[in-house]
Structure 1
Amino acid sequence: MSDSYLPKPLDRSEIVYIAGHRGLVGSALWRHFESQGFSNLVGRSRSELDLLDRPAVFGFLEHTKPGVVVVAAAKVGGILANSTYPADFLSENLQIQVNLLDAALAARVPRLLFLGSSCIYPKFAAQPISESALLTGRLEPTNDAYAIAKIAGILQVQSVRRQHNLPWISAMPTNLYGPGDNFSPTGSHVLPALMMRYSDAVRTGSTNVTNWGSGSPRREFLHVDDMASACLHLLEKFDGPTQVNVGTGEDQTIAEIANVVADAVGYSGGTTWDSSKPDGTPQKLLDVSTLRSSGWSPSISLADGIASTVAWYQANSDSVRA
């Protein structure tokens, strides 16, 4: 714990800057903070503030003087995007993070939460994956560049704590989903991809859906509204140098998850698995004991979360992010 800092409830009138407030996580953070009475939220779109523009980021934070910064801005994508454009994922995420964290340090932002990803852990880490597994083995090759960028962000936060004694923290969410997700045919993660495929099959009357991989890898999913709740909880209840895993502590096979999606969209046809496509990490389940011991647990079940996200997708299919 940082010297002289004890976690406490945040002042609801404090200036809170949410970097990436229009993305999946950032928009959920905005909704949750607003629902909890925060009256001075600040966000900037890419056209208003390019986070790759270092002088602009420094100028913005110097002028805004936030008391809290949540770094939810990142270049993200699924297996195909990460494996096709690794240089872009590494370079852009490093630039975004370094610009924001350096500028926040220059502005002496008192409280900062950096959001990473569970892909930071080794491909064959012991399950469930504890925070101590960081940097103990080789990464999953299909997203190693993105993972390295996120690991650099964690270490920068830890370094600021050691060198400058600021109570900054990091949270590592498991696979996230919910309203505002990326439904791009080539850039989406597995759950929105499944929702698109099964919804399209119902719309077109198709009797078969083909999914990537074998269906056997196990994945943990957390609704993004639960993630936002966990972030505020950590800001108010936790301080420490290690990153904190955020998840449900439960996983299912991709095939099982596909069945839940099929039921949610009303699909009754068959499913084929294309094993020529990559499976990715065989299992990725987080040990969430640190978070649970601090007093937080998720409130949205996978079935309910998928059903509500499918309903949102179908209602917004003409304007979803792609």
Structure 2
Amino acid sequence: MTLEKKRVFVAGHKGMVGSAIVRQLKERADVELVTRSRQELDLMSQAAVDDFFSTQRLDEVYLAAAKVGGIHANNTYPADFIHDNLLMESNIIGSAHRHGVQKLLFLGSSCIYPKYADQPMREDSLLTGELEPTNEPYAIAKIAGIKLCESFNRQHGRDYRSVMPTNLYGPNDNFHPENSHVIPALLRRFHEAKINSDDQVAVWGSGKPMREFLHVNDMASASIYVMELDDDSYAEHTQTMLSHINVGTGVDCTIRELAETVAKVVGYQGEVAFDTSKPDGTPRKLLDVSRLTALGWQASISLEDGLRNTYEWFLENQAQLRG
């Protein structure tokens, strides 16, 4: 008897999260993966995306495509971050609905929550306060994606779910020296300092902000888990007007502790200094992951183990990395 496979499109399959989802779905006998490179499909073209969906007979979509970056990139390119992300999610979610795709998972970001939200941040703190100014355009685009999914569910009975990850890192991250997130930026900086025998590495900010970090393999596992929850289990832990679920470890650390752990993993022996003239961003970002825990999923990769895995990947791929 031939096993019936579901056709699953992973948008953004070459990115950090998308590639991790693809790696895990490839192990499944019941999945026929559908992917398209940026050259094959322009996700910012409504006509191209709609034509793609019209020919593919897709059963599920993982919307992992996004324009992402750290504080510097968000501050420098705010128009790109809101414009590109709004276009991609609107095109994909709209076309999925028009062409009969019943199940979709949208990947958001913990920056959707107010800058001074109570910690740990619960799903119902969304839209209860002002956003962090440095990434407000990106956050608004991600909030719009959540509301697109909620609205198609309400009006058309679709099953479009959203997961909000904490700060992610891992293989296929962006290691650009200026436009990357904190972990790849620090891994690269400490590695180059070790190679150059530098006496000191400067880290942006005071080192006091608290951050939570999730390895991308855990994120992929959680994404697939939430996508495949039965309707009753999922509905029990979400509300009609609150369809997103936080994904994280439930544990945070200071940026100073992170930098010291990165130095240990890389083998850097010099001084770690903090440049207080640079912005800290949000004082603390820790997600309340009690909903996902109640649904039966927990992170399994420790920060130090995840950093070692990511540094190994960096060493193996640094010749191909941007910047």
Query: Which of the numbers 64, 74, 78 marks the counterpart of 1:72?
Result: 64
Q: Which residue of 1 aligns with 2:32?
A: 40
TM-score (norm 2): 0.95
Give yes or no for the alignment of 1:319 onto 2:316: no
RMSD of aligned residue pairs (Cα, Å): 1.1
Aligned residues: 312
1:37 CA displacement: 3.2
Give yes or no for the alignment of 1:134 onto 2:126: yes
Give yes or no for the alignment of 1:277 onto 2:269: no
1:315 CA displacement: 1.6
- Residue 168 of structure 1: SS of its match in structure 2? strand
Cα distance in 2 for partners of 1:33, 1:215 equals 38
Cα distance in 2 for partners of 1:12, 1:146 equals 39
Query: Which of the numbers 103, 106, 109 marks the counterpart of 1:111?
Result: 103
Over 4 Å off, 4+ runs: none
Task: Report if aligned partners of 1:181, 1:321 keep a CA contact under 8 Å in 2.
Answer: no
Q: Which residue of 1 aligns with 2:301?
A: 300
| Residue 50 to residue 158, structure 1, CA distance change in 2 (3 Å) | same
Cα deviation, 1:91-149, whole Å, max 9, x if unaligned, reads 11101111011100101201100010000000000000000000000000000000000
Deviates more, 1:35-44 or 1:224-233: 35-44
Cα distance in 1 for partners of 2:57, 2:290 equals 34
Partner AA of 1:221 in structure 2: F
Q: How much identity, in percent, do the aligned residues show? A: 53
Task: Report if aligned partners of 1:180, 1:321 keep a CA contact under 8 Å in 2.
Answer: no
Cα deviation, 1:39-96, whole Å, max 9, x if unaligned, reads 4101111110000110110010111121000000011110000011111111111011
- Residue 317 of structure 1: SS of its match in structure 2? helix
- Residue 102 of structure 1: SS of its match in structure 2? helix
Where do residues 241-280 of structure 1 align in structure 2 (5 Å cutoff)? 241=240, 242-280=243-281
TM-score (norm 1): 0.95
Where do residues 1-322 of structure 1 align in structure 2 (5 Å cutoff)? 13-237=5-229, 238-239=234-235, 240=238, 241=240, 242-322=243-323
Cα distance in 1 for partners of 2:147, 2:187 equals 35
Partner AA of 2:169 in structure 1: Y
Partner AA of 2:264 in structure 1: D
Structure 2 residues without counterparts, runs of 5 or longer: none
| Residue 38 to residue 26, structure 1, CA distance change in 2 (3 Å) | farther
Cα distance in 1 for partners of 2:266, 2:214 equals 19
1:207 CA displacement: 1.5
Task: Report if aligned partners of 2:260, 2:272 keep a CA contact under 8 Å in 1.
Answer: no
